[in-house]
Structure 1
Amino acid sequence: MKGIFKILKRFLPPYKKYVVLTFIFNILTAILNVFSLATIIPILQVLFKINTATYEFISWHTPGVSFMDILLNNGYWYITQLIETYGSSQTLLILSTVLVIMTFFKTSTAYLGSYFTIPIRTGVVKDIRNQINDKILALPIGFFTEEHKGDILARISGDVNEVENSIMSSLDMLFKNPILILIYLCTMIALSWQLTLFVLVLLPIMGYVMGAVGKTLKRKSFEAQNKWGELMSQVEETLSGLRIIKAFNAENKISERFRKGSDEFKKMSNRIARRQYLAHPMSEFLGTLTVAIVLWFGGSLILEGNGLIDAATFIYYLTIFYSIINPAKDFSKSAYAIQRGLASMDRIDRILKAQNEIENPKNPKKLQFESAIRYKHVWFAYQSDWVLKDIDLVIPKGKTIAIVGESGSGKSTMVDLLSRFYDIQQGGIYIDDINIKDVTLHDLRSLIGYVSQEAILFNDTFFNNIAFGTENVTQEEVEKAARIANAHEFIMATEHGYQTIIGDRGGKLSGGQRQRISIARAILKDPQILILDEATSALDTASERLVQEALDQLVKNRTTITIAHRLSTIKNADEIYVMHEGKIVEHGHHDELYAQNGYYQKLCNAQIDFNR
Structure 2
Amino acid sequence: MKTFFRLLDLSRPYHHYVPEYIVYIILYSILGLMNFGLLIPLMSALFDTGHQAVVTQLPEFSMSFGYVKDVFYYFLNQQLASGGGKFGVLIYICIVLFITIILKNIFGYLSQKVLTRMRVNMVRKMREKLFDQFSTQSLRFFHDERKGDLLSTISSDVVEVENSVVTSLQTLFRDPLVIISTFIALFVISKEMTLFTLVFFPISGWLITSVSKKLKRQSNKGQSLLGKIVNITEETLSGIRIIKAFNGEKFIRDKFDKDNIAFAQTVKAIQNQREMASPVSEILGVMVVVVIMMYGGYLILNHKSNLQPEMFIGYLALYFQILAPAKNIGSAITSMPKGLAAGERVLRIIDLDNAIKDKPDAKSLEGFKDAIVYDNITFRYNETPVLKNVTLTIPKGKMVALVGKSGAGKTTMADLLPRFYDVQGGKIMVDGQDIRDVKMHDLRAIMGMVSQEAILFNDTIFNNIAFGQENADKEEVIKAAKIANAHEFIIKQDNGYETEIGDRGMKLSGGQRQRLTIARAIFKNPPILILDEATSALDTESEKLVQDALDKLMENRTTIVIAHRLSTIQHADIIVVMDQGEIKEQGTHDQLIAVNGIYKKLVEMQEFK
Report the TM-score range of the alignment, normalised by the length of the smaller protein. over 0.9
1:116 aligns with 2:114: yes
After superposition, residues 235-274 of structure 1 pair within 5 angstroms as 235-274=233-272
The C-alpha deviation readout for 1:263-309, integer Å capped at 9, x for no partner, is 00001101111110000110011011111111111111111123431
CA distance in 2, matches of 1:517, 1:54: 87
1:542 aligns with 2:518: no
* Structure 1 residue identity aligned to 2:237: L
Cα separation, partners in 2 of 1:77 and 1:477, compared to 1, 3 Å: closer
Tell me what 1:346 maps to.
344
CA distance in 1, matches of 2:399, 2:419: 21
Shift of 1:21: 2.2
SS at match of 1:328: helix
CA distance in 2, matches of 1:250, 1:356: 38
Tell me what 1:275 maps to.
273
Shift of 1:191: 1.2
SS at match of 2:590: helix
Tell me what 1:64 maps to.
none
SS at match of 1:573: coil
CA contact (8 A) 1:22 1:175 kept: no
Tell me what 1:7 maps to.
7
Cα separation, partners in 2 of 1:309 and 1:531, compared to 1, 3 Å: same
Bigger drift between 294-303 and 166-175 goes to: 166-175
* Structure 2 residue identity aligned to 1:283: S
* Structure 2 residue identity aligned to 1:462: I
CA contact (8 A) 2:572 2:588 kept: yes
- Structure 2 length-normalised TM: 0.96
Tell me what 1:514 maps to.
513
- Structure 1 length-normalised TM: 0.95
Cα separation, partners in 2 of 1:562 and 1:2, compared to 1, 3 Å: closer
CA contact (8 A) 1:121 1:167 kept: no
The C-alpha deviation readout for 1:349-386, integer Å capped at 9, x for no partner, is 22111121111011112324211100011000001100
* Structure 2 residue identity aligned to 1:441: M
CA distance in 2, matches of 1:293, 1:128: 47
Tell me what 1:594 maps to.
593
SS at match of 1:22: helix
* Structure 1 residue identity aligned to 2:275: Y
**Given the alignment, which residue of 80, 86, 98 partners 1:83?**
80
After superposition, residues 341-490 of structure 1 pair within 5 angstroms as 341-368=339-366, 369-490=368-489
CA distance in 1, matches of 2:413, 2:448: 15
SS at match of 1:378: strand
* Structure 1 residue identity aligned to 2:80: I
* Structure 1 residue identity aligned to 2:154: I
* Structure 1 residue identity aligned to 2:5: F
SS at match of 1:27: helix
CA distance in 2, matches of 1:509, 1:192: 80
User: Alignment length, in residue pairs?
Assistant: 604
CA distance in 2, matches of 1:112, 1:71: 23
CA contact (8 A) 2:531 2:560 kept: yes
* Structure 2 residue identity aligned to 1:150: G
Bigger drift between 190-199 and 252-261 goes to: 190-199
The C-alpha deviation readout for 1:101-150, integer Å capped at 9, x for no partner, is 11111111112211222111222111111111111111101111121111
Bigger drift between 556-565 and 67-76 goes to: 67-76
CA distance in 1, matches of 2:240, 2:254: 15
Structure 1: segments with no counterpart, 5+ residues: 62-66
CA distance in 2, matches of 1:119, 1:72: 35
Cα separation, partners in 2 of 1:296 and 1:401, compared to 1, 3 Å: same
CA distance in 2, matches of 1:521, 1:14: 41
Shift of 1:424: 0.8
Bigger drift between 596-605 and 422-431 goes to: 596-605
CA distance in 2, matches of 1:229, 1:70: 60
SS at match of 1:176: helix
CA contact (8 A) 2:593 2:600 kept: yes
CA distance in 1, matches of 2:349, 2:77: 68
CA distance in 1, matches of 2:70, 2:586: 104
Bigger drift between 174-183 and 422-431 goes to: 174-183
Shift of 1:252: 1.0
Tell me what 2:556 maps to.
557
Bigger drift between 592-601 and 393-402 goes to: 592-601
* Structure 1 residue identity aligned to 2:443: L
After superposition, residues 5-404 of structure 1 pair within 5 angstroms as 5-8=5-8, 10-14=9-13, 16-51=15-50, 55=54, 57=56, 78-85=75-82, 86-368=84-366, 369-404=368-403
The C-alpha deviation readout for 1:42-96, integer Å capped at 9, x for no partner, is 22223333336784648969xxxxx888976775565344224211112211211
* Structure 2 residue identity aligned to 1:125: V
CA distance in 1, matches of 2:172, 2:136: 34
SS at match of 1:361: coil
* Structure 2 residue identity aligned to 1:566: R
Bigger drift between 341-350 and 435-444 goes to: 341-350
Bigger drift between 145-154 and 456-465 goes to: 145-154
Cα separation, partners in 2 of 1:55 and 1:543, compared to 1, 3 Å: closer
SS at match of 1:216: helix
SS at match of 1:289: helix
CA contact (8 A) 2:57 2:74 kept: no
Cα separation, partners in 2 of 1:146 and 1:3, compared to 1, 3 Å: closer
Cα separation, partners in 2 of 1:99 and 1:606, compared to 1, 3 Å: same
Shift of 1:6: 2.5
CA distance in 2, matches of 1:564, 1:581: 16
SS at match of 1:576: strand
SS at match of 1:185: helix
CA distance in 2, matches of 1:71, 1:430: 78
CA contact (8 A) 1:57 1:73 kept: no
CA distance in 2, matches of 1:238, 1:27: 54
CA contact (8 A) 1:19 1:117 kept: no
CA distance in 2, matches of 1:361, 1:52: 78
Shift of 1:206: 2.0
CA distance in 2, matches of 1:398, 1:45: 99
SS at match of 1:398: coil
Cα separation, partners in 2 of 1:351 and 1:170, compared to 1, 3 Å: same
Shift of 1:434: 0.4
CA contact (8 A) 1:58 1:73 kept: no
CA contact (8 A) 2:165 2:340 kept: no
CA distance in 2, matches of 1:414, 1:515: 22
Cα separation, partners in 2 of 1:72 and 1:399, compared to 1, 3 Å: closer
What CA RMSD, in Å, does the superposition of the two structures yield over aligned residues?
A: 1.9
